[in-house]
Amino acid sequence: MSKEKDDNYWRDRLTPEEFHVCREAGTERPFTGEYWNVFEDGLYRCRCCGEVLFNSGAKFEAHCGWPSFDTEAKEGAVGEVPDNSLGMQRTEIVCANCGCHLGHVFPDGPTETGLRYCVNSLSIKLDTDAGGEDK
């Protein structure tokens, strides 16, 4: 994963809230993000670099207050990093292209993948012009 850009680069391009979540691994409060309850067709792109991360068809209602997906748009789009913070063992998910913090992945998804990619709305942008297919 490429993290060639420094903090000043990202501070100039992101709001303070986006910077905190995307570059400092923060978390937005549940049920407050832009996409937690949105089910329009399109592609979810990394807020930082624009890389396609998730398709709208993989999104499901997890009742957790964050956008949840059962699979990444293409293999390798999302990187995984062990996260032992807050006294828990979790798996952090990041944009494989730029290292943007997305959220965490959990093995409790309701579909055949068994995964729940739990993502901060501040880490992604919905591209409705793409129609749900990687272009």
Q: Which residues are catalytic?
A: 118
Task: List 126's β-bridge partners, or say none.
Answer: 44
Q: Which two tokens stand for residue 108?
A: 């409790």
Nearest to 1 by CA among 43, 38, 49: 49
CA distances from 69 to 53, 62, 118 (A): 10, 9, 7
